[in-house]
Amino acid sequence: MNNEAEPSYTWALNKYIEKVLNNTNIVPPPVIVNDRDMALKNSLKKLFPDSKVMLCIWNINKDVSTHCMNKIGHQTDSENFMGLWNQVIYSSNEKSFKDNWKKLQRKVKNPEVLKYLENTWLPLREYYVPACTNHHFHLGVGSTSRVEGAHAPGRISCQSSAIDFTSSKRQAG
């Protein structure tokens, strides 16, 4: 899309509803995974109110790694940190989530890293931690990576991952 603003997402999703959902027996998805794009999330919630919106675990880990690794330091510490973080985000129940978070807090001594996780990702845990998301039928899908891979041939033929929907349709014939 040319612009990743809420009106653009709403327009594109309305076109999808109009052309696909309204003309087929396809039902709206019960779960939609996105990469924390708030404009997209807002459009999804408006147009698919019965669908659970989840956050992509791969994008979360990428963001956490980018933000925290230079603050953690030594490679062993970095590997241990991501291992501890993964225990937190893959917790299957609330008790293990709390226990894993306390363990990470004890072992990671950098207050800036802990503050970042507490302020940025913990408030959104209902959108990615299995302890919260397993209440919704999603077949274990918690990442957009399969979708990104499926879109790769389209990006190659369009020569751009940011091509707008209308131009892409025109190029496809």
**Using N-to-C axis directions, what is the helix angle for 165-172 and 145-158, rounded to 10°?**
60
Q: Which two tokens stand for residue 6?
A: 């809420």
Integer-rounded Cα radius of gyration of the chain = 19
Helices 75-89, 57-72: axis angle to 10 degrees equals 150
User: How is 84-105 classified by DSSP, letter by letter?
Assistant: HHHHHHT-SSHHHHHHHHHHHH
Residue in this structure with the two tokens 């891979």, named with its chain if needed: 149
Residue 48 CA: distances (Å) to CA of 7, 126, 157:
15, 18, 30
Q: Does residue 128 fall inside a structural domain?
A: yes
Domain total of the chain: 2
The answer to the question of residue 51 being in a domain is yes
pLDDT values of the chain reduced to their tens digit, one per residue, 173 residues: 678 899 999 999 999 999 999 899 888 888 888 888 889 989 999 999 998 888 888 889 999 999 998 888 765 566 789 999 999 988 888 999 999 999 999 999 899 999 999 999 999 888 877 776 656 544 455 545 554 434 333 433 344 444 444 444 444 44
- 50 part of a folded domain: yes
Q: 164: number of CA atoms within 13 Å, CB side?
A: 9
Q: 118 with 77, same domain?
A: yes
Instruction: State whether residue 53 is helix, strand or coil.
Output: strand
Query: Same domain, yes or no, for 17 and 67?
Result: no
- Residues 94 and 65 placed together within one structural domain of the fold: yes
Give the domain-ending residue among 55, 79, 95: 55
Is residue 171 situated within a structural domain? no
Burial degree of 85 (CB within 10 A; 0-12, 13-18, 19+): buried
On whether both 42 and 89 belong to a single domain, the answer is: no
Q: Is residue 66 part of a domain?
A: yes
Range of the domain at 19: 1-55
My answer on whether 119 and 62 are in the same domain is yes
Co-location of 51 and 66 in the same domain: no
| pTM value surpassing 0.85 | no
Co-location of 64 and 21 in the same domain: no
With respect to residue 46, please indicate whether it lies within any of the assigned structural domains: yes
Sort residue 36 into left (φ over 0), alpha (ψ -120 to 50) or beta.
left
**Is residue 108 in a domain?**
yes
